[in-house]
A and B are shown apart, each in its own frame.
Chain A
Amino acid sequence: MYKIISTDEIGPKIKSYEIYAPDIAKNAKAGQFVMLRINDRGERIPLTIAGTNLEKGLVKIIFQELGKTTMQLASLSIGEYIKDFAGPLGHPTEIKKYGTVAAIAGGVGTAEILPIIKELKNLDNKIITIIGARCKDLIILKDELKQCSSSVFFATNDGTYGIKGYVTDVLKKVINKEKVDIIYAVGPVYMMKAISEITRKKNIKTIVSLNPIMLDGAGMCGACRITVNNKTKFACVDGPEFDASLVDWEELVSRLDLFKNFEKIAIDKFKHNRECNCCKK
């Protein structure tokens, strides 16, 4: 059992939890994830590690209420427990001196890119950060981003913060103005795909962190398989980071839809049980 030590609502339906898991905190590196299961009937879901507190043995996770499990997770309070919490999984991000790095994130992807930026900055990389969200409220971790970036750009769909438009609009301007050595992108698949299309033409190495459906998270099942450079890869063991220009994006998009109908059933049941008294046992 893994205790929830702190909870914080950092955006609309976006929460930040610190979980007591000292072994994971000790060995976790930027870019890695955990698999968690809330209770005996729960599913296993992957969440990227958003930070650690080594002294207190804490692992930070940031998540948006999207599916049944994240909704249920959001309903937990300080002092409550998560049944299973395993990690750190996947290869850590390769942290080294690249020169100029453009770090791009969309939505809660921001939580995932922040630890990467921090470590890259420690090695004196110049960090240009580009954050996209649907609107101002959905932009998270603004101050932290500013602390570790040389410059931060924001793009919102409705123009309520930063420029009106997409991260790709900002990216195009940035790469036209200066030489970028590598790009890190974390966020919705369509965003990463759009970035990849731009940077492939410009020959800029682009690393993306992929988020396919996972089951065990340690190579045993192949649920998370994707095609990279025409070969089947497991995101959990071979990734989660891959060269964006080699990823079969269409396939990834289709595989994310695999259990869409089931997810809807699970969400409906969860909402119903939460609201309806006769269902509470």
Chain B
Amino acid sequence: MPARDPNIRKKDFEQVNCGYTQSEMLKEAKRCLQCQESLCIRGCPVGVDIPGFIKYLTQNDPKQAAIVLRRRNNLPAVCGRVCPQENQCEKFCVLSKRNESISIGNLERYAADASTRDNSNIAINKNGIKIAVIGSGPAGLTCGGELLKIGYDVTVYESLHDVGGVLRYGIPEFRLPKDVLDLELHNLKKLGMKIILNVLIGRTKTIKELFDEGYKAVFIATGAGLPIFPKISGENLNHIYSANEFLVRVNLMHSFDFPSYDTPVYRARNVVVIGGGNTAMDTARTALRLGAENVKLVYRKTEDEIPAREEEQIHAKEEGIEFVTLTSPVKFIGNEKRFVKAVECIKIELANIDSLGRRYFHKVVGSNYIIKADMVVLALGLHPNPILPSLIDGLITDTSGYVITDNSLMTSLPGIFAGGDIIGGTTVIEAMGMGKRAAREIEKYLKR
């Protein structure tokens, strides 16, 4: 995928990837072998008919391609941008053996972007049965969208003041423009999705109240909303943030435009981001766009272990993010006013590789050193948000707080299903896959 010049793009929040031109799209689509036994589909958590939509693209008919896409995927413009296709559909492409997989994600993005905003081609026989979806992130929106298509009356409850969950507050504009998200939401609303903001189910309204109001099933998709802190000295110094806080300030609250918007964000010079996932990359690149001179990404293992998508790593490096691998923070050091001024780190080395090829690391005693920083962002992952699970009598969670579900994604309570990060998912598409499965299971449950 062609991308904008790193030296220009690192100064703004415009999209990094340019998207295919028509001729690039046609060239790529025509490479598809249209295999009879389409392995690529097996790699897709929501089972998109990949050769089917690509076929329409070869005929230069993105609208028909999008109709095929949307049959299985309620958020194709999002997935075309943020799915780790290299580990999913593209990995199973027969051409991957020659390292020439079809760029399915880029084609998906082209079709979704070029498609009409009109969903009227989907005829729905409404059954009037009410379903409540809790959380408007990828799992909730997908589940809700699927249920709408088969006739259910879906209401999505969101605790924040805007829709989309991590797609809104987490993933930055330069990777997923919010007008792309808004377009997908527009399509879902057109299908009949009702979205109620500012409602924290469990507190504003209980699950029991939902059933009393006539909802026949509930899907919990509240996400993994409790950032992990490393439990080391100085972690609560000023200008040490969780990645969630930093990204919420920028993406949801528009703090980059302070004081036009009221929410502030600190524009640091020397930023240290701890972590190696996609969130760490998003955080580092956002800090750069806010004007940081120097952004270091501190990761405890080697680049081989970094969990972020390769594309994100490449983009981050092109923009000037410095990767400091085999390094772990030991403590944070503050000035007299308790603002962070440095991170004390320790070096890590590869200790052992076992017979299964697993690599073990350990700290190098005495290798402590200091990295100067006036802001630190911790991208160490999230625990499941405990609020709703703790307020539902009889709902069983595991020791980490994840909601336990059976094979049908039903929780310990009848009629209450759960999916996405609250049951241990990790990616947007995984959450969407669970949302889709939950919709089928809810249908089965209600028809039993």
Residues of A within 8 A of B (CB): 23-24, 27, 32, 37, 41-44, 68-69, 83-89, 215-216, 218-223, 225-227, 232, 234, 237, 250-251, 254-255, 257-259, 262-263, 265-266, 269
Contact = CB atoms under 8 A, between A and B. Distances in A.
Nearest to A32: B203
A83 B84 CA distance: 36
Contacts of A83: 161
Contacts of A69: 262
A265 B267 CA distance: 15
Contact of B238 (A88, A216, A257): A257
Q: Is the interface of B mostly helix, strand, loop or mixed?
A: loop
B244 A221 contact: yes
B235 A266 contact: no
Contact of A89 (B200, B242, B244): B200
Interface string B198-230: 111001111000000000000000000111010
B258 interface: yes
Nearest to B383: A219
B160 interface: yes
Interface in B111-142: none
A221 B260 contact: no
A4 to B, nearest CB: 16
Contacts of A262: 258-259, 264
Tell which of B205, B248, B262 has the most Cβ of chain A within 10 Å.
B262
B236 interface: yes
Q: Is the interface of A mostly helix, strand, loop or mixed?
A: mixed
B26 interface: no
Contacts of B258: 262, 265-266
B17 to A, nearest CB: 28
Given A86-B199, A218-B200, A222-B245, A41 B387 contact: no
B324 interface: no
Contacts of A265: 258-259
Contacts of B254: 41
B189 to A, nearest CB: 18
A41 B258 CA distance: 9
Nearest to B338: A254
B238 A258 contact: yes
Contacts of B198: 84-86
A84 B161 contact: yes
A225 B236 CA distance: 7
